[in-house]
Amino acid sequence: MTRAQPEKTHVRLGIMPLTDCALIAIAKERGLFAKYGLDVVISKEPSWASLRDKIMIGALDGAHMLAPMLFAATLGLGAAPFPMVTGLSLGLNGNAITVSNALY
Residue at 35 is within a domain:
yes
pTM attached to this predicted model: 0.80
Task: Specify the CATH number for the domain of residue 64.
Answer: 3.40.190.10
> With 70 as the cut, is the pLDDT of residue 95 above it?
no
Residue 57 belongs to domain spanning: 1-78
Spell out a b/e string for 59-81, using b for 16 or more CB atoms within 10 Å of the CB, else e: ebebbbbeeebbebbeeeeeeee
Where in 1-104 does DSSP place strands (E)? Answer: 10-15, 39-44, 62-63
Number of domains in the chain: 1
Residue at 84 is within a domain:
no
Of residues 17 and 104, the one with the higher pLDDT is: 17
Task: Report yes or no: 85 and 67 within 8 Å, Cβ to Cβ.
Answer: no
Alpha carbon 83 to its chain's center: 16
Q: What is the pLDDT averaged over residues 7-28?
A: 92
